Structure 1
């Protein structure tokens, strides 16, 4: 297969967005798994609390809705047409940044691992917003990537 030097610098934006949402979902999940390993956390869950917050059906539904955003965006990034895809990514990533910042001290003081993952997911969401914003040709899928330094 013959390729020119520029073809390696193009990536389908839909694939990139979907991959970034997968990356985010895995980071959210693993952060929560590690949070469950903190001393006293499981005891609090069994008592029906997360820090000072009582676990209710509404609380669990809110958590499910928050986590459904990245899961839905994995799929939607692949199937939505250009302009709708661009705006869905901008809106979803902005919403996830707001949620992330808003939940930093929700119920308990953020731990080091929580802060570590928060920096990663905020940075990734910011990248999604930036990339979608600069995606000026959503109907023509490939977007030129910066050339890699050798």
Structure 2
């Protein structure tokens, strides 16, 4: 499997995990009651919060496509930035409130996947830079 296909596939995998974790959260009656009241664990769920959440979810969704169409170096850089952002955000969410057992399960998978993307892309960038030096 080529790098672009692998990265795109990893973004599909992690995006489905993000979405399914959110879906399961809506099945949690204690959380659902908070969502319906507009505040979850003390966080107000308003238009600004939902816009920020939408932007954060657009990152992995966009990476599914961008991983396939960008040229190598911009592709690697975009994957690096996206994986860093998503890993950081997921790690930070573990310290907001008391995470449920199912959230910890999904967060472990999501963080592991984005850390793998980070490590994989760092190796790819080293190869790209080495090729550039050998051509020069």
1:125-150 deviation digits (Å, cap 9, x = unpaired): 01101111111149x9xxxxxxxxxx
Q: How does 1:112-131 map to 2 (within 5 A)?
A: 112-131=101-120
Long gaps (5+) in structure 2: 132-136
Q: Of 65, 85, 93, which residue of structure 2 is paired with 1:95? A: 85
* Structure that is richer in helix per residue: 2
Partner in structure 2 of residue 3 of structure 1: none
Partner in structure 2 of residue 34 of structure 1: 24
Partner in structure 1 of residue 121 of structure 2: 132
Structure number, greater radius of gyration = 1
Hey, what's the Cα distance between the residues in 1 that align with 2:30 and 2:102? 16
Matched positions, count: 128
Long gaps (5+) in structure 1: 1-10, 141-150
Q: CA deviation at 1:39?
A: 2.1
By relative contact order (CA 8 Å, sep 6+), the higher-ranking structure is 1
| Contact map agreement 2:25 2:32 (CA 8 A) in 1 | no
TM-score (norm 2): 0.89
TM-score (norm 1): 0.81
The SS at the match of 1:40 is helix
